[in-house]
Amino acid sequence: MIPFISRRLIYPLQEKLVQRPTFSYLANLDQTQWFSREDIETIQLQKMKALLSKAKKNSPWHANRIKTSSINFENFTLDEFTKLPVMTRTDIQKHGNEMTWHNVPGGCFRYTTGGSSGQPLIFNYGRSRQASDAAGRIRARRWWGVNIGDPEIYLWGAPVELNKINRIKTIRDHLLNQLILNAFEMSPENMSLYLTAIQKFKPKCIYGYASSIELLVKYARQTNRQLSLPDLKVVCTTGEPLYPEQRQLISDFFNVPVANEFGSRDIGFTAHENKHQQMLLMSESIFLEVLDQDNNPVSPGETGEAVMTGLYSEAQPFIRYRTGDMIKLSDNPDKSGTGLHVIEKVIGRNTDFLIHENGSIVHALAAIYILRETIGIEKFKITQQAINEFQVDIVTNQFWNLQSSETIQKKFKSRFGNKCKTHIQLVNTIPSEASGKTRQVISKVQAPSF
């Protein structure tokens, strides 16, 4: 498809048909990013007040929380906003229905988190949140010279229970010049086909899990495969921390910069790197606090937990939500001249690859998706002890039942082979590593060489 037609006709038509205000949001973002930091923070405060007003009217759980906090809407300030206590994933698991504005304009849609934090949950979102995410990502791509309709490769994945070809989505991806390659099936045979597809597609952007792109690059080098992609502008990584050695390896192979993004399914598209390798917050869509364990703000440059408010999350408001991500804020301005807030470092979360009984490399999220869809799980840790041997430690809540255990075992067999044995252990707590991080997926099986 000609990029101009995708950009000017296909994508706008799609957004209009599903009643998503993506392009009006995008036009606004293109202007507000050049506002001063002070003006952007004024916009944030206005949006926080509007979100609280909607939550007070339409979300019973939040309405009680707002009433108890005695917030003064007539003289609304940041101090008034922070009277609200923080909320957690457990709050959402227990009270998600009471938080939801079921009649939100445009409709309410059910989703689940990726679960890489080890604490999965089910939540609802609306058209405003969808549009905010899409517009923010389009703007971030434009920082790198990639626009709507330009050819993009997605090295991505889907839950095993939903991993079926959807003809309508395939047609849509074609019309928008997007090619999806399955990151959950990284066998040598598939990676060879992926490299051929990338060469033929000639993308302007490659987007995917950092570790999956790294794996593809290592395979290409070990098999002496070279790519010529003169139109490629950037490789965008997501879903995991991007380590310096990964950035260098990927950049050297594709001969373009690597830009990392930061986000989650519950909060949405949160931040993206610019050409100066600064991680810029989507400040018009997300209000970010960095707090210590006692809910006190930490200074720029100090590590704390990212506590976020999704300013377009009215369908099920995420207000002062503890994300579980550890980050550092910067007090430096954006070197590109925008007023957007700068995140110094995302400490993030880590995942490993897992190995199928046939030797194929499987992305850890394929196992995480199984746990995230299981009701009654507070936290989990998956350890692949050997081929066909998995240990799954689970901290449960009151929604757990015996059927949940059987379901997990069946899905692991479906994903990793009929000989797969899954040993489920219910525990009271999952301790952190010596580094202070909590790794949700660990493989003790050496990946096969190509």
- Whether residues 228 and 270 fall in one domain: no
Contact partners, residue 237, CB within 8 Å, separation at least 6: 207, 208, 209, 210, 213, 246, 250, 258, 259, 260, 261
CATH number for the domain that contains residue 235: 3.40.50
Tokens matching residue 217: 């690059």
Domain containing residue 424: CATH number = 3.30.300.30
pLDDT at position 373: 83
Residues ≥6 apart with Cβ < 8 Å to 50: none
Domain-embedded: residue 308: yes
Question: 391 in helix, strand or coil?
Answer: strand
Distance between CA 247 and CA 175 in Å, rounded? 31
| Cβ neighbours for 189, distance < 8 A, ≥ 6 positions apart | none
DSSP bridge pairs for 96: none
- The two three-digit tokens of residue 155, written as one number: 């090295």
CB 269 within 8 A of CB 133: yes
Q: What amino acid occupies position 9? A: L
Residues 426-449 as b/e (b if ≥16 CB within 10 A, e otherwise) read: eeeebeeeeeeebbbbbbeeeeee
In degrees to the nearest 10, what's the CA dihedral of 400, 404, 408, 414? -150
Q: Is 184 within a domain?
A: yes
User: Which amino acid is present at 38?
Assistant: E
At 351 the pLDDT is 57
- Give the three-class secondary structure for 91: helix
Rg, the chain, Cα only:
22
Q: What sign results for the dihedral spanned by CA atoms 86, 119, 240, 315?
A: negative
In residues, how long is the chain?
450
Among 213, 237, 256, residue at a domain's last position? 256
Reduced to 3 states (helix: H, G, I; strand: E, B; else coil), residue 9 is: helix
In a domain, 159, yes or no: yes
Q: Which of 298, 319, 346 is the last residue of a domain?
A: 346
DSSP string, 358-387: TS-EE-THHHHHHHHTSTTEEEEEEEEEET
149 located within any domain: yes
Cβ contacts of 408 within 8 Å, gap of 6 or more: 370, 371, 374, 392, 422, 424
- What's residue 169's pLDDT? 67
For the chain, what percentages of helix, strand and coil (3-state, to nearest 5) are there? 35, 25, 40
Please check whether residue 75 lies inside any domain of the structure.
yes
Task: Examine the domain organization and report whether 30 and 106 are in the same domain.
Answer: yes
Residues 74 and 119 in one domain: yes
Is there a single domain that holds both residue 151 and residue 221?
yes
CA distance 314 to 312: 6
Number of domains composing the chain? 3
Regarding whether 14 and 124 lie in a shared domain, the answer is yes
Distance of CA 121 to the CA centre of its chain: 14
Taking the C-alpha atoms of residue 119 and residue 230, their distance in angstroms, rounded to an integer, is 42
In this structure, the answer to whether residues 115 and 176 fall within a common structural domain is no
Domain boundary among 256, 285, 301: 256
Q: Are residues 230 and 272 in the same domain?
A: no
Q: Which runs of E-coded beta strand occur in 190-244? A: 205-209, 234-238
What's the DSSP call for residue 230? T
Say how many CA atoms lie within 13 Å of 93 toward its Cβ: 20
- Tell me if 138 is assigned to some domain: no
Residues 166 and 236 placed together within one structural domain of the fold: yes
| 335 and 189 co-located in one domain | no
- Give me the pLDDT at residue 159, please: 45
Q: What is the pLDDT of residue 173?
A: 75
pLDDT at 445: 85
* CB-side neighbour CA atoms (13 Å) of 405: 14
Beta carbons within 8 Å of 128's beta carbon, 6+ residues apart: 21, 106, 312, 314, 315
Judged by DSSP in three states, 100 sits in coil
Instruction: Examine the domain organization and report whether 73 and 53 are in the same domain.
Output: yes
Structural domain includes residue 412: yes
Which mean pLDDT values do the consecutive 10-residue runs of the chain (450 residues) have? 82 89 96 98 98 97 96 95 94 93 94 59 92 97 96 76 53 80 87 96 95 92 96 93 90 98 91 97 98 92 94 97 91 96 82 80 83 86 93 92 92 92 93 58 72
Whether residue 86 is found in the same domain as residue 192: no
Domain that holds residue 310: 3-131+265-346
Residue 71 lies in a domain: yes
Q: Which residue type does 422 have?
A: T
**Residue among 295, 286, 294 nearest 267 (CA):** 286
Residue 91 maps to which CATH number?
A: 3.40.50.12780
Site of tokens 């399955």:
182
